[in-house]
Structure 1
Amino acid sequence: MRMINLDGKVAVVTGGSAGIGLATVELLLEAGAAVALCGRNAERLALAEAGLRQRFPDSRILSAVCDVLAPQQVRDFAAQVEQALGTVSILINNAGQGRISTFADTDDAAWLEELQLKFFSVIHPTRAFLPQLQRAPDAAVVCVNSLLAVQPEPHMVATSAARAGVHNLVRALATEFSVDQIRVNGILIGLVESGQWRRRYEARPDQERALSWQQWTAQLAQKKQIQLGRLGLPEEAARAIVFLATPLSSYTTGSHIDVSGGLSRHA
């Protein structure tokens, strides 16, 4: 039984070929939406699309290689989606990994790269799809953000600062877009299982080689003081995203849902 019926709705998920993005695409398709996903890696995107079409053979799916930092590519993607699927009413901005660096070892180029990625991965898609969202009923934008936005880490100084800016941007957009009845919200994720964590697991030091993935992540959760004692799953973040993207949260805008398993220490 569907939690919500999204038949006739068109959704877009950036960074949709893996992880939280792909899990979100799957939930939207399960609810009946037509979904467009994009990513920069053509091979990974093709694999994701093939899997989705096998699982959802009757669904309307569009995938496209698109760099969200390239404004013309994003505009072209927006036009392609509208022509193929119809007017977009749900936009999920989901792109960008974290940069490990302290203030001492982050040069100007690294600062600019991180700020550009975090801000313009939201700005370009939102700008490109805004005309469609303005025409759609129950329109919503959801930005995937990190707990670092409100709980910065000194070893991720540039990412923490950029994430805080996106947190503020969500609130500003919610205010500006309210005149068009477009809701804008975000989620704040903690440690969620991903390819990045898998790579760290594969590169673990010799003294940790005997640990299984479950043991290693449980140890990591204990070290980070995650109250639920484990890393989150992509689908757990995706459920929060879909809640915010649909009329299930029809009276919520300018807000963020904490999806961190108790890692959060902010008020």
Structure 2
Amino acid sequence: MREIPLDATAVVTGGTSGIGLATAELLLEQGARVAICGRSQSRLAEAVNHLHAQVPQARERLFARTCDVLEAAEMAQFAAETEKALGRISILVNNAGQGRVSTFADTTDEAWTEELHLKFFSILNPTRACLPQLEASGSGAIVCVNSLLASQPEPHMVATSAARAGIKNLVRSMATEFAPKGVRVNGILVGLIESGQWRRRFEAREDRSQSWEQWSGALAAKKSIPLGRLGHPAEAARAIVFLATPMSSYTTGSHIDVSGGLSRHA
């Protein structure tokens, strides 16, 4: 993966944990400059310490600031500070937003509004803030981290499923609009990926004799994941880095499935 130019600058939102942190780490390993942001100062500090430990040679290529991507002014300031610290942004990884468990019957109007706002503006604000730099770079790339729910909705996550489908459509629309400006837009559709949420559920398991491998394997079997396990954040990160770099220079408006075969769609 040495396709990343050494002077590439990448912004990774939600870069303090999970897929975002794994993506930042891989980008740093490949020689890119990386800016990460998150809302929690303590989690941001933990992420910085982790990245310094894992990629010690990249200390001067890492920039981190607290930022709420739902606040347009904060995101605009973060983009400007990133350019000043690391140089013009040429890669944007939109990776913010969690899932909401609710059915149609118990999702309130307020919950619908909150969920749709979170999913869309966690992409709209960073994209608007970084787009001028991405266009000026001559080879800009945007990657949106999305969920398999976009194509395979679940009735117990009705609002999130609907929002995710909208984001999949948005990726295609932006790809078409931005292509003449030299900016590619793609996404990934993730299935069940190891996360703090799943680890917390494991810690609360009833059968204390079960190891993580046994517990997560049983979960994968229950969910009918053909590969028989949950995905690792690093596996999603590899797909993101592929789409963000010249290795996918003729790809735009597309999605990579990272679900272990869970997808029922061709």
Q: What TM bracket, shorter-length normalisation? A: over 0.9
- Show the counterpart of 1:22: 21
Task: Work out the CA distance in 1 between the residues paired with 2:224 and 2:137.
Answer: 43
Structure 1 letter corresponding to 2:121? F
Aligned-residue offset at 1:4: 2.5
| Residue of structure 2 equivalent to 1:153 | 154
Question: Within 5 A, what are the aligned runs for 1:83-98?
Answer: 83-98=84-99
Structure 1: state its 5+ residue gaps. Answer: none
Aligned to 2:180: 179
Q: 2:8 maps to what in 1?
A: 9
Q: Give yes or no for contact 1:8–1:34 (8 Å, CA) kept in 2.
A: yes
Give, in whole Å, the separation in 1 of the partners of 2:56 and 2:137: 26
Query: Percent of pairs identical after alignment?
Result: 66
Verify the 8 A CA contact 1:6 1:28 in the aligned structure 2: no
Aligned equivalent of 1:114 = 115
CA deviation vs aligned residue, 1:208-230 (integer Å, no higher than 9, x gap): 33322111110010011100000
Range with bigger deviation, 209-218 or 236-245: 209-218
- 8 Å CA contact 2:190–2:258 kept in 1: the answer is yes
Unaligned stretches of 5+ residues in structure 2: none
- TM-score, scaled to structure 2: 0.97
Q: Following superposition of structure 1 onto structure 2, how do residues 221-232 of structure 1 map, counting pairs within 5 Å?
A: 221-232=220-231
Return the alpha-carbon distance in structure 2 between the equivalents of residues 74 and 146 of structure 1.
23
Contact residue 4 and residue 246 of structure 2 kept, 8 A: no
Distance between the aligned counterparts of 2:56 and 2:74, measured in 1? Answer: 28
Partner of 1:52: 51
The answer as to 2:35 corresponding to 1:73 is no
Tell me which residue corresponds to 2:131.
130
- Determine the structure 2 residue equivalent to 1:101: 102
CA contact (8 A) 2:25 2:54 kept: no
The CA deviation string for residues 3-58 of structure 1, in whole angstroms up to 9 with x for no partner, is: 43430110000000110000000110011001000011110110111221233333
| Inter-partner Cα distance in structure 1 for 2:50 and 2:254 | 33
Q: Hey, what's the Cα distance between the residues in 1 that align with 2:4 and 2:71?
A: 33
Query: Aligned Cα RMSD in Å?
Result: 1.0
For residue 32 of structure 2, what is the aligned residue in structure 1? 33
Q: How many corresponding residue pairs?
A: 264
Corresponding residue number in structure 1 for 2:254:
255
Structure 1 residue 138: deviation in Å?
Answer: 1.7
Match of 2:62 in 1: 61
Residue 231 of structure 1 and its aligned partner are, at CA, apart by 0.2
* Counterpart Cα distance in 2 of 1:5 and 1:157: 38
1:201 offset after TM fit, Å? 1.8
Match of 1:189 in 2: 190
Residue by residue over 1:135-171, the C-alpha shift from the partner in whole angstroms, topping out at 9 and shown as x without a partner, is 0032100000000000000000000000000000000
